[in-house]
Amino acid sequence: MKGVVYRDTHEAQWRHLLQLQSRVRDYVSTIGLTVVVDEAEGYAFLRSRPDLEDDEGPSIPRLIPRRALSFHVSLLLALLRKKLTEFDAKGGDTKLVLTREQIIDMVRVFLPEGRNEARLVDQIDTHISKVVELGFLRRIKGQDGHFEVRRILKAFVDGQWLADFDQRLAEYAAQLRGDDAGQHDADDRDTDRDEGS
């Protein structure tokens, strides 16, 4: 019940989930969760049921706690999602693989100039490790410094959010320059994600 089930890495669990999908939905519904299965992309996860929450917070205890993400991790997720959309538009292969250097170059554009280069790269490496820990990137075995962008990212950074991406990037760039300090508390989709989903 914790984490994401992928078709390509959890073959037996994936097969069982597809066979028992309606029973799993009924079961997790009784504890305030819903199962999200994307057969086309090949992943499934549990999410808190939105209909059980009101404006003053959840009406029942939350089984999947939210985790606040740092500004830089949120930015990296947004950039990876945009890259995934561009990759899908080209067609062809189903797995987007990026090198560490490509990821660093994507993020570097949005960081203030004049910083210590080695320190900057170390910080970006820390953000990459956090995104790996969250399950949106996967290190490719045998290919040091290569990462697969996991397709589950599409479920957390959705199309509506991506439609406003250019505006958000302009806001991010302004915040990084210090123009609007303290205003990077974005909506829940930007900074929070369900743990274990």
- Sorted by where each starts, the structural domains of the chain and their CATH numbers stand as 5-64 (no CATH), 68-194 (1.10.10)
What is the C-alpha to C-alpha distance for residues 123 and 65, in angstroms, rounded to an integer? 26
Residue indicated by tokens 């504890």: 31
Average pLDDT, the chain: 78
**pLDDT value for 19:** 92
Report the pLDDT averaged over residues 126-150.
91
Q: Does position 153 have pLDDT exceeding 70, yes or no? A: yes
Q: Which of 104-118, 140-154, 168-182 has the highest mean pLDDT?
A: 140-154
pLDDT tens, residue by residue, 30-69 = 888 888 899 988 889 888 876 655 555 556 666 666 667 7
From the CB of residue 129, how many other CB atoms can be counted at a distance below 10 Å? Answer: 13
Farthest CA pair distance, the chain? 57
**pLDDT value for 170:** 73
Q: Does position 90 have pLDDT exceeding 90, yes or no? A: no
Q: Are 109 and 169 in contact (CB under 8 A)?
A: no
Give the tokens for residue 90: 């080209």
